[in-house]
């Protein structure tokens, strides 16, 4: 039961974070070798650096 509640909460939290904040990877991580993950029980990011700013309403989002 707890796992289902956690999945439901993540389904609400993640979209709200994306709606509220702008995320940008650090320039050093934009290459393929800059960011590593290790999959144990959960996926564990190592060396993840990003810039997080409050989203400005009406601001254009650049697409890569």
Q: Where are the domains of the chain?
A: 2-54
Query: Which pLDDT score, from 0 to 100, does residue 1 have?
Result: 73
Task: Please report, for residues 17, 33, 34, 41, 64, the alpha-carbon distance to residue 60 in angstroms, rounded to integers and kept in the order given.
Answer: 17, 29, 27, 38, 13
Q: What is the pLDDT of residue 62?
A: 61
What pLDDT shows up at residue 59? 63
Which of the residues in the chain have pLDDT under 70? 32-34, 58-64
Structure tokens at 25: 């990877």
Angle, CA of 55, 58 and 61, to the nearest 5°: 65
- Confidence (pTM): 0.51
What pLDDT is attached to residue 24?
84
């Amino acid at each position: 039961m707890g796992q289902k509640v956690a999945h439901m909460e993540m389904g609400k939290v993640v979209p709200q974070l994306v709606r509220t904040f702008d995320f940008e990877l650090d320039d050093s991580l934009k290459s393929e070798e800059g960011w590593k993950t290790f999959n144990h029980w959960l996926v564990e990011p190592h060396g993840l650096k990003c810039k997080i700013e409050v989203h400005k309403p009406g601001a254009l989002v650049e697409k890569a």
